[in-house]
Amino acid sequence: KNQSLLMIAAAGAAVIGVLAVMQMGLPGTGMDHSTMATSAASGSTAAYESAMDGMMKNMKMTYTGNADVDFVQGMIPHHQGAIEMAKVERQFGKDPEILKLAENIVKAQESEIATMNTWLEKNAATAATSDSASTKAYETAMAGMMTNMKMTNTGDADVDLVKGMIPHHQGAIDMAKVVLQYGKDPEIRTLAEAIVKDQEGEIAFMNEWLAKKGLSVIEPAQRNTHASHEQRGSAYAGWQSRTIKALSGEDIANLEAGRGMGLALAAELNGYPGPVHVLDFTKELALTAEQTSRTAQLFEQMKAETIPIGKRIIEEEAALDRLFAGRTISPPALADATQRIGLAQGELRVAHLRYHLEMAELLSPGQIGRYAELRGYGAQARPN
């Protein structure tokens, strides 16, 4: 109980701040996490640095070998770090979408911290078992997050929040997958599953935001550079805890939101812009009122068409997963299930590509060329 109270106090001590180049080691090793390189001089930069420094200090812990307890004791200060980063965004940020994201992070993670504190008060930690498999997995997850969060801040609070929060969220996802593999408490399992789903969805949203701004997205390979020695035999290790094995939480979030997911690259990279990004560049492309109105209509029509198809894909993948999980699969059932999935996937791609085709008809060659430059593709001629 005393250990629980100490963790609660430590979580509350996380200071306000944003991300910079940090020298970090494994949690609990006694290494100094406070050494940071100087980044762009701005109020948000100093605040982000302070927040991350506070989080890293508070996440130093001695593992018990109990996967559920260790998950909670590590996740409380981890969540608190996200909250403090979000508070920096609320103070310095300007982008409405990212400000809304910050509000959602504060609300959701404060609620989860309360749940975890209540659980900790009821569940005393067991004696330390440093050679526990879960301990090694947690240490690996945290080391990976720390490595992936090394960055030089830009001084733009919105960009820095997103680029820091993506690997931060990935760290939470990796920790959640450890407890899903080794934990036993059903309440913690439910919490971990929610964390994976919610934060993979937010990662998808943040990467989409980066892409809309013409910035590099942070790919899964960049967020998961820390696979443990035990997991190197397969890139799929940890995926066994997915609700639908063939779909990540990020995949599900994208399908439910009607996002493109690269399905329209054949159009996008050959001079056929998409309505989402055209709307982002309304001023830069000097869209007329009519063009703006029609583009907004196309965007809404696209969502109305693609979201139901995406949900159908999720349902069909879940059905296929159940057949394998229940060991009731047969060759005819397999053929039927995969044909339905393939049909839905084809319909989804056709829909996304068609809206790029319609979008290109609304723009002048000059606007298409400018769009390509804004997106970082270089000048492109209007398609014939």
Residue 30 lies in a domain: yes
Whether the per-residue pLDDT at 15 is higher than 80: the answer is: no
Helix ranges (H only) for 149-248 are 157-182, 186-212, 220-223
In a domain, 164, yes or no: yes
Report the alpha-carbon distance of residue 53 to residue 331 in Å, rounded. 55
Per-residue pLDDT, averaged over 157-166, amounts to 90
Same domain (yes/no): 13, 88: yes
Report if residue 105 sits inside a domain. yes
Decide if 248 is inside a domain: no
247 falls within a domain: no
Q: How confident is the model at residue 147, as a pLDDT?
A: 62
Residue 173 and residue 38 in one domain = yes
Q: CA 149, CA 207: separation in Å to the nearest integer?
A: 15
pLDDT cut 70: percent of the chain above it: 71
CATH number where 34 lies: 1.20.1260.10
The answer on pLDDT for 371 being more than 70 is yes
Statement to judge: residues 225 and 272 lie in one domain: no
Residue 165, in any domain of the structure: yes
Range of weakest confidence among 2-6, 13-17, 305-309, 346-350: 13-17
pLDDT of 290 reads 97
More confident residue, 354 or 30: 354
Residue 372 clears pLDDT 80, i.e. is over it: yes
CATH code of residue 320: 1.20.120
Same domain for 300 and 365, yes or no, is: yes
pTM, two decimals, is 0.52
Domain shared by 177 and 70, yes or no: yes
Full domain range(s) for residue 112: 2-238
Q: Looking at the domain assignment, is residue 226 inside a domain?
A: yes
Q: Lowest-confidence range among 93-102, 127-136, 258-267, 287-296? A: 127-136
Q: Looking at the structure, tell me whether residues 219 and 308 fall in a common domain.
A: no
pLDDT recorded at residue 242: 82
166 and 95 housed in the same domain: yes
What is the pLDDT, as a whole number, of residue 125?
53
Residues 290 and 353 in one domain: yes
Q: Is 300 among the domain residues? A: yes
Task: Assess whether 145 and 110 both reside in one domain.
Answer: yes
What is the per-residue pLDDT for 36?
32
User: In this structure, are 43 and 122 located in the same domain?
Assistant: yes
What is the pLDDT of the chain when averaged over all its residues? 79
Contact 39, 153 (CB under 8 A): yes
If pLDDT is split at 50, 70 and 90, which confidence band does 377 have?
Answer: confident
- Count of the separate structural domains present in the chain: 2
pLDDT in tens, 195-234: 988 998 899 889 888 887 877 777 654 444 444 444 444 5
Q: Are residues 270 and 359 in the same domain?
A: yes
The predicted-structure confidence for 287-306, as pLDDT tens digits, reads as follows: 999 999 999 999 999 999 99
pLDDT of residue 174: 85
pLDDT value at position 211?
Answer: 81
212 and 113 share one domain: yes
